[in-house]
Amino acid sequence: MTTMSAYEIAESVRDQKVTATSVIERSISNANALNPKLNAFLAIDREGALEAAERIDSIIAKGGSPGRLAGVPIALKDNMCKVGLPTTCGSKILEGWNPPYDATVTKLLQSEGAIIVGKTNLDEFAMGSSTENSAFGPTLNPVDLTRVPGGSSGGSASSVAAGIVPIALGSDTGGSIRQPASLCGVVGVKPTYGRVSRYGLVAFASSLDQIGPFTSSVMDSAITLEVISGFDPKDSTSYDQEVGSLSAQRGLSIEGLRVGIVTEFIDGSDPEVVGALRDAAEGLARLGAEVVEISIPETKLGLSAYYLIAPAEASSNLARFDGVRFGLRVEGSNIEETNVLTRTKGFGAEVKRRIMLGTYALSSGYYDAYYAKAQQVRTLIKSGFEQAYQRVDVLISPVSPTTAFKIGERSLDPLAMYLSDVCTIPSNLAGHPAMSVPYALDSQGLPIGVQVLAPALREDLMFRLAFALEESASGVPTLDPSIKEAIIHG
């Protein structure tokens, strides 16, 4: 884990106790030392990051204000655009593509003095739950190198858990921030849909995608979300409301806060995962929260609805990869053959599986039976949450039914893999915020996260409970011995 939080790094850089340059040099040295073991990064930008660090140091030397995240090294999931770095989405079809523009989140981070050190590995086009679907090889979990880091944002989770960076951004379409955060033992936040601009995020499922942070502490996540949130005219789904001071929620009492345990998410979860959740609930009760069990039966339909809606939207979004405008091009005798050859070579098996499923669901004669029905179920799920929030203020549940599983254990069984996201998908369908807070370890020393869910635009309540959970957390994971040995300490 990182020895300094992002908050502490920025404070030390501003106070000239350390230089941004020295912080970035150490981060990049660790990235280079650990990446051969983890495969967390697809690109490391030593030259660009050091140039940015020198600019921060110069601003401070002249008495200027470098920003809230001054000198903090940050990694971006490789489906977010940054000028000067390739954006591959973990796919051969975009290998080597350099975007001509920055994502809005990239600009917002840099405007506050953060420094992008590289791009992280992911399941191809964010389609997966283990980061084994990347065209550039799997990412490993720094707690145990024989296990997956979760997905699809596994590279971002792994890079924070290993202490390479204190903050990394991921995208969450059905749990792709929260599930890897839980499996790697870090904090992971999916904000309310529309809270963070998606401009410059390569789309998977446009009505579900949302960008959020991975960090080693709840405070760092709060600060990061404050920085990247806000209205963006370049994103038509962007919500025009201030997120407020999430960091101010630390230390606030949770006495009288009504907390519901979602019983549907307990069913089928590993006993140790459920045990950690029960322990967390007891801790919250001791702090004065009113904890009750609550049923939201509609959430049981989440997985089936998601695997119609998300592939349908993906089949539309990925139609742009035709071998004509950008990315890979495999020449055929005509444009149709070129399209077929390009996509056959460029897309991996899981992406092809979802494109075909989505195209089928949208096809004539099946649209009403599948896609339209799934959207009706989505409305039911949202209604179920709304009814629950009339009884309680926030919800808690497992993040993943299990702790990190072995590399290759589920790669040949798509259904078993999809079930990894059964607790996280409903929040995406509803558009509500949710986050994973590292809480305990199982009997093998693997991390277990607790999921905190809140109504739309109530990140303040979510973070208040998350801070309380962090205070009572009972276990910090130990890094794999070979990762410990390779870390370069400052």
Annotated catalytic residues are 77, 152, 176
Type of residue found at 97: W
- The whole-angstrom separation of Cα 203 and Cα 189 is 19
Residue 92: DSSP 8-state: G
Neighbours of 58 (CB within 10 A): 12
Phi, psi (rounded to 5 degrees) for 75: -110, 145
Say which residues have a Cβ less than 8 Å from residue 69's Cβ, sequence separation at least 6.
6, 10, 109, 112, 113, 114, 167, 223, 224, 227
Query: Residue 351, exposed/middle/buried by CB under 10 A (0-12, 13-18, 19+)?
Result: buried
Type of residue found at 145: L
Q: How many CA atoms lie within 13 A of 407 on its CB side?
A: 16
Type of residue found at 224: T
Helix axes 373-391, 302-317, angle to 10 degrees: 130
- The whole-angstrom separation of Cα 117 and Cα 129 is 24
- Contact status, residue 169 vs residue 157, Cβ threshold 8 Å: no
Phi, psi (rounded to 5 degrees) for 292: -135, 155
Which residue is listed with tokens 């999430």?
246
Count of H-run helices and E-run strands, the chain: 17, 11
- Contact status, residue 142 vs residue 36, Cβ threshold 8 Å: no
Q: Cα torsion at 16, 18, 23, 25 (round to 10°)?
A: 110
Type of residue found at 64: G
- Contact status, residue 20 vs residue 56, Cβ threshold 8 Å: yes
Q: Can you point out the beta strands (E) in 317-400? A: 394-398
- The whole-angstrom separation of Cα 261 and Cα 359 is 37
Give 3-state DSSP helix, strand, coil % of the chain, rounded to 5: 45, 15, 40
Q: What pairing do the DSSP bridges indicate for beta strands 41-44 and 73-77? A: unpaired
From first CA to last CA, the distance across the chain in angstroms is: 13
- The whole-angstrom separation of Cα 114 and Cα 120 is 16
- Please state, in angstroms and as integers, the Cα–Cα distance from residue 234 to each residue in 213, 230, 237, 239, 243, following that order: 21, 12, 9, 11, 18
